[in-house]
Amino acid sequence: MDSFDLNSLVRPSVSVMKPYSSARDEFTDFDQEMVFLDANENPFDTGVNRYPDPQQGKLKELLARRKGVSTVNLLLGNGSDEVLDLIFRAFCNPSKDNIISLPPTYGMYKVLCATNDVENREVLLNSDFQPDISAILETVDADTKLIFFCSPNNPTGNLIDPAKIIQVLEQFNGLVVIDEAYIDFAAAESWVSQLSNFPNLIVTQTLSKAYGMAGIRLGLAFASSEIIAILNKIKPPYNVNELTQRSAYDRVAQLDQVDREVDAILDNRERLISALKNIDFVTEIFPSDANFVLARVDNANKRYDQLIQKGIVVRNRSTQPLCENTLRFTVGTSEENIILINALNSI
């Protein structure tokens, strides 16, 4: 890849814009006792009467240390959905540019194409749920800005073959986004360690899955400092609220607890897979590196409804290409796992 040029990928309006400068951007020494009369806040202390740190300094320092990157390689957002949207808005010119996504995959890439008026070029995964690299590269044209890999992939659960991702990183002059929402459940290293090798790589992660914090909304993007600077320029000033910054900090400071929960989820995943093997209407179980298992059944609508009757909600993925008659089971607690397995056995 000899002609990657980040400046040529950024939307011209983003290139020339000046970011919004907030009151809290101008004064950043939060440890000093000061009288803050700059941001039109209510001065009476509610615990959250002040705007949050727009750069999330304290949380970002901790996350960067934990992930082995510098803070300049990290952007935080209101869930990884916001981070993905910022990537679209920084690089894709509405009504002109296109991106490539690889169904069956996470549905938000398509939604973000629609909301940003960007063409979604879909190149199906093959029957092993791995990408067809020649087909992807043939689909690229001068207006292709982003290619999305989801690894481990949702809803299929498998990791994408790293050798295939490297082929695209090396041959595509746009940006390659690897969505690692489920990486903490996988028997694989994160692509974050490869950032220095690929200037066109963006990795996204989230605290919604392994970290158990879907309710606070915290997503991460890792990339070169140049890419992160562009995303920082367009992000809403206070996109990560004060309560989120505090509770994420407390959780990330206690990684032992997260690790214990991930271990329990992985044990329960294996138990669920063993149980599914004995259910006669389950015809295929797909290998999983995530906290869910995709399984093919004889009749997904019927089995979905039967589970609902028993008070259990799973996800019917049958409308996704290559996923006819599949159900996606999120791995719950041991108790929830037993309830699910008993229900499956009694159907």
Ligand X SMILES: Cc1ncc(COP(=O)(O)O)c(C=O)c1O
Q: Computed from CA positions of residues 319, 324, 330, 335, in that sequence, does the dihedral angle turn out positive or negative?
A: positive
Nearer to ligand X, 97 or 179 (CB): 179
Nearer to ligand X, 111 or 266 (CB): 111
CA-based nearest residue to 283, from 321, 330, 326 = 326
CB of 188 to ligand X, least distance (A): 15
What phi, psi does 328 have (nearest 5°)? -110, 120
Q: How many CB atoms lie within 10 A of CB 204?
A: 24
Minimum gap (Å) between residue 44 Cβ and ligand X: 33
C-beta of 97: minimal distance to ligand X in Å? 21
Phi/psi for 254 (5° steps) reads -120, 60
The residue (of 24 and 269) whose beta carbon lies closer to ligand X is 269
For residue 214, the minimal CB distance to ligand X (Å) is: 6
Cβ nearer to ligand X, comparing 125 with 150 = 150
Radius of gyration of the chain (CA): 22
| Separation in Å, CA 124 to CA 129, 243, 321, 323 | 8, 40, 8, 12
Which position's Cβ is nearest ligand X? 79
* Dist CA 228 CA 73 (whole Å): 6
Q: Which residues bind ligand X (CB under 6 A)?
A: 79-81, 106, 150, 154, 179, 181, 206, 208, 214, 219
Q: How far is the CB of 291 from ligand X (least distance, A)?
A: 10
Minimum CB separation of residue 304 from ligand X in Å reads 19
Q: By C-beta, is 154 or 337 nearer to ligand X? A: 154
Is-cis flag, bond preceding 19, omega within 30?
A: no
Q: What angle do CA 105, 108, 111 make, to 5 degrees?
A: 120
Q: In the complex with ligand X, which residue's Cβ is closer, 194 or 330?
A: 330
Closest CB 205 distance from ligand X, rounded Å: 8
CA distance 248 to 246: 6
Concatenate the DSSP letters of all residues of 133-186 into one string: HHHHHHH--TTEEEEEEESS-TTT-PPPPHHHHHHHHHH-SSEEEEE-TTGGGS
Q: Which amino acid, 346?
A: S
Task: Select 150 or 293, whichever has its Cβ closest to ligand X.
Answer: 150
